[in-house]
Chain A
Amino acid sequence: MNPGRWVVRAVPWVWLLLFFLIPFVIVLKISFAETALTQPPYTPLLEWGQSVYPTIKLHTANYLRLAGDSLYLDAFLNSLKVAAVSTLLCLLVAYPMAYGIARAERSWRNVLLLLVMLPFWTSFLLRVYAWIGLLRNNGLINNTLLALGIIREPIVMMQTDFAMYVGIVYSYLPFMILPLYANLEKHDVSLLEAAADLGCRPLRAFLQVTLPLSVPGIIAGSMLVFIPAVGEFVIPRLLGGVDSLMIGRVLWDEYFLNRDWPVASAVAISLLIFLVVPIMVFEHFQARARAAEAQ
């Protein structure tokens, strides 16, 4: 193998090993440690006493705490529920949009796609912030409804699950639209024409032809929304209520407020275990899409 080829291979491998794989090994290690008043604030896993061989100290206390304290389990379940509902809502909003863009005139398609992408290029934090201005008690929506006389009292929307879902769907919508569009755009329209010629009504043609063909797009988009949404921190923190605890917030607080690195690590590892299956599904579909592209 020539030296150039060697460099091409070594650089990405070394980078990913150092900053992707080894970090997870270290998180795993620290999740078995105990908090200590040292710098860094956890106990070492291996201790060299008098003997030649180190003694391994595995503390399972962090995991026992996660399993024993209902706060953590509730946060996990709540995060899974919020992510699942958000994914479904995203799909319901994104599918007609992606379908509409894919069936629009060719010259319009790129403009519409650009309009989908444009908000994505501006700051995510500022887009979430924009919703605060709309949803607050004296925000735009409440003021408009009050002025029109539709309501007498402002509707409380901020710090509720409703606001959180709106924020998540809004922020993740492009991630659902783009894979769906990529799939729907490739469909052969003659299949639908054939179905129509054979007397199939449009709705039935959609359910029996288009929908089954778009399953890979639906799965890819759903994974792109579901997996990061489970660990979402910013949106629940800014828009969601105090009582609906998400696991991303728990991890954040354990690290930043409690300075408990071992428990934060244990939360990260548990979350990762929850997400292994969805991540593998995502990887599988990524690989399949690439194989199709290479042909």
Chain B
Amino acid sequence: MMGRRSWFVFTALLLGFAFLYVPIVSMIVYSFNESRLVTVWGGFSTKWYGQLLGDEQLLGGLWLSLRLAFVSATLAVVVGTLAAIMLVRHGRFRGRTWFSAMVTAPLVMPEVITGLSLLLVFVAFAPLPFMPGSRGFTTIMIAHATLTLSYVTVVVQSRLASMDVSLEEAAMDLGARPAKVFLVITLPLIAPAVASGWLLAFTLSVDDLVIASFTAGPDTNTLPMMIFSKVRLGVTPEINALASIMVGLVAVAVAVAGLLMARQERARERDMHAAAAQRP
């Protein structure tokens, strides 16, 4: 059944995906261009990849960004999961509306506002004990964790809400303490959501330019900050190579995750059928 309307939708999908992928594909193609002039095809070459791997400054920025993302995503997952548990399992506590608003507002807050306000709070807190005295790794890390914990909370929250409470209740009835119930029952069940929350937080942190620029110190230059200053000066083929590597890594990671999830889903369905068959 291919009516006029289906053709319209099909064309829209095709054009939409072309719009999404033409820039990325052209970037990958030109990363193998011999010529320095980005738009003239000078033959196939991998020299920009070689140059990229020799760029110590850029690699330093990459290493800093990866470390930042790892620590901030881990912190965001801990705080974000606690916030999700609180919102889903603790019912209507006092200040719930406020709390819920504070959790979701960073999702839409313009980055310049978040960046400036976090910077000003770090400056104000600097003389206090237990607070970072100067700006650098720690301040960007806290800023990123604050931004990304909202995403973690939203992802974990929807998993928790769709989860069967009776498993937790059964464990409680059998005398398990709340901490044990969480570790043995709840955590394994929400693990996929926690993992995808962590990945989301990680990518958002690696990607962030604006908030890092506000909260960075004079010698902390993250990868996006370096890319931004290079791109402002013009197009460089090296950046094409970097982008292609990132696209390749993400595509592989997403494909692997997709396959694993599909396999897990099939295994779960099989188990369910087997369990149903056991029943007298």
Contacts and interface: CB of A to CB of B under 8 A. Distances in A.
Interface of A: 2, 4-5, 7-9, 11-13, 15-16, 18-24, 26-27, 30, 40, 93-94, 96-97, 99-101, 103, 110, 112, 114-119, 121-127, 129-134, 136, 138-140, 143, 170, 173, 202-203, 206, 223-224, 227-228, 230-234, 237-238, 248, 251-252, 255-256, 261, 264-265, 268, 271-272, 275, 278-279, 282-283, 286-287, 290, 293-294
Contacts of A132: 231, 235
B8 A96 contact: yes
B242 interface: yes
13 contacts: A9-B93, A16-B102, A18-B121, A19-B143, A126-B243, A130-B24, A133-B26, A202-B5, A228-B109, A231-B109, A231-B111, A268-B112, A279-B109
B251 to A, nearest CB: 7
B160 to A, nearest CB: 10
A283 B104 contact: yes
A127 B23 contact: yes
Contact of A228 (B88, B111, B121): B111
Interface stretch (B43-51, B204-212, B271-279): B204-212
Given A30-B120, A115-B20, A11 B82 contact: yes
B118 A23 contact: yes
Given A227-B109, A279-B105, A96 B9 contact: yes
A24 to B, nearest CB: 6
A116 B250 contact: no
A237 B213 CA distance: 15
Contact of A255 (B99, B116, B235): B116
Given A8-B86, A12-B83, A119 B227 contact: no
Specify the main secondary structure of chain A where it touches its partner. Answer: helix
A116 B13 CA distance: 11
A112 B20 CA distance: 12
A227 B110 CA distance: 7
B121 A138 contact: no
A99 B23 CA distance: 24
A232 to B, nearest CB: 7
Nearest to B84: A12
A119 B246 CA distance: 11
Contacts of B5: 202-203, 206
A272 B114 CA distance: 11
Given A96-B13, A116-B20, A170-B23, A232 B110 contact: yes
Given A8-B85, A118-B254, A255-B116, A123 B246 contact: yes
B108 A114 contact: no
A231 B207 contact: no
A11 B79 contact: yes
B21 interface: yes
A122 B210 contact: no
B2 interface: no
Q: Identify which of A27, A202, A256 gathers the most chain B CB atoms within 10 Å of its CB.
A: A27
A141 to B, nearest CB: 10
The 6 A-B pairs at the shortest CB distance, nearest first, are namely A231-B110, A96-B12, A23-B117, A130-B23, A12-B83, A23-B121
Given A118-B254, A130-B23, A140-B26, A272 B113 contact: yes
Given A23-B118, A118-B251, A224-B107, 14 more contacts: A5-B90, A9-B90, A12-B103, A20-B102, A94-B16, A99-B12, A118-B250, A123-B227, A125-B224, A127-B23, A237-B232, A248-B112, A251-B113, A268-B112
